[in-house]
Amino acid sequence: MTDKLIFGRYMPGDSVIHRMDPRTKLLCSFYFIGIIFLCNNFASYALMFAFTLMAIFLSKVDLKFFIRGVKPMIWLILFTVILQLFFTQGGKVYWQWGVFSLTEFGVQNALFIFCRFVLIIFMSTLLTLTTPPLSLSDAIEALLRPLKVIKFPAHEVSLMLSIALRFVPTLMDETEKIMNAQRARGVDFNDGNLMDKMKAIVPLLIPLFISSFNRAEELATAMEARGYQGGDGRTKYRQLKWEMRDTVCVLVFALLTVALIFLRK
């Protein structure tokens, strides 16, 4: 089940990008999505593409994984692109039929939207392919910590996140076990109309919920027995370290922003 999903999957490796601080990677990916909206001409998109491809090259992950990451989104992308293509007015008109028209701006916009989608997906895939989920949750915790000033429960949120991540495979296993057990007793998960399929989910969902409650109860007891009293006075085993390459990454992003603003017309 997990092998089919590229999105959110981690590819172990030892490149510069892999070794970067997860905080840098997370923030930079968000920043990248922000500055992509600065692009408004072919030169700026070309620059962004060059930058993304360079990052992918540095990560030493095969390009085909990124293309596979785009695949599940392809219908959404095509839908948006086609809407843009036929409904944008302005510039030279190539073809017209009723409300549909193919214009210069339309083609241009459609291309830009396509590039924007692909770039965003490439960048977020790069983040998840090179960062283990664990480091990501560490990064999120570190980034949430300043919010403690406004009474935001940063420790609790990050603990929930890491427990959730840790239990994803366990619960997947269990789902499969329950499914097989119910199949053995004659529940059909694939056939029938929508209503039948929804009904077939019930004997899967209820046991899964109940067992999750039991798990939660036992886990809480085990945590308490091991002295867990909440976030205060705890030390941390894993630590994030800011290094030279992170500074370099931030500088590169600053340069990129300046270049984009310069290219913008």
Partner 1 sequence: MKPIIELSKVNFKYQEDDERQALTDVSLNVYEGEWLAVIGHNGSGKSTLAKTINGLIVPSSGDVVVEGLPMNEENVWNIRKKIGMVFQNPDNQFVGSTVEDDVAFGLENHGIPREDMLRIVKESLEKVRMTDFAKKEPVRLSGGQKQRVAIAGVVALSPDVIILDEATSMLDPEGRMEVIKTIQEIRDEKNITVISITHDIDEAANATRVLVMREGRVFKDGLPEEIFSAGQDLIEMGLDLPFPEKLKMEMRAQGMDVPADYMSEERMVEWLWTSALNK
Beta bridge partners of 100: 97
Considering the complex, state which of residue 62 and residue 243 has its C-beta at the smaller distance from partner 1.
Answer: 243
Residue appearing with tokens 């997906």 = 121
Burial class (CB in 10 A: 0-12, 13-18, 19+), 47: middle
Out of 15, 41, 221, 247, point to the residue binding partner 1 (CB under 8 A): 221
Q: Does 1 bind partner 1 (CB under 8 A)?
A: no
Which range in 70-78, 146-154, 190-198, 223-231 contacts partner 1 by CB under 8 A? 223-231
State the minimum distance, in angstroms, from the CB of residue 49 to partner 1. 35
Q: Does 163 bind partner 1 (CB under 8 A)?
A: yes
Q: Say which amino acid occupies 132.
A: P
CB of 24 to partner 1, least distance (A): 21
Q: How far is the CB of 164 from partner 1 (least distance, A)?
A: 10
Q: Name the minimum Å distance from CB 214 to partner 1.
A: 8
Stretch that binds partner 1, among 32-40, 120-128, 196-204, 211-219 (CB under 8 A): 211-219
**Contacting residue, 234, 243, 258, 264, with partner 1 by CB under 8 A:** 234
Q: Is 241 in the site for partner 1 (CB under 8 A)?
A: no
Looking at the Cβ atoms of 9 and 215, the one nearer to partner 1 is 215
Between residues 48 and 136, which has the closer beta carbon with respect to partner 1? 136
CA pair distance 130, 10, nearest whole angstrom:
6
Of 37-45, 89-97, 167-175, 251-259, the segment contacting partner 1 by CB under 8 A is 167-175
Give the residue with the Cβ less far from partner 1, 156 or 224: 224
Site membership for partner 1, residue 190 (CB under 8 A): no
Q: Does 173 sit near partner 1 (CB under 8 A)?
A: yes
Task: Identify which range of 20-28, 52-60, 119-127, 210-218 contacts partner 1 by CB under 8 A.
Answer: 210-218
Three-state SS string over 156-191 comes to HHHHHHHHHHHHHHHHHHHHHHHHHHHHHCCCCCCC
Report how many residues bind partner 1 under the rule CB under 8 A: 30
HSE-CB at 92 with a 13 A cutoff on CA atoms is 4
Tell me which residue has tokens 């701006």.
105
CB-based contacts of 207, cutoff 8 Å, min separation 6: 178
Binding residues for partner 1, rule: CB under 8 A, are 133-134, 137, 162-163, 165-166, 169-170, 173, 214-215, 218-219, 221-229, 233-239
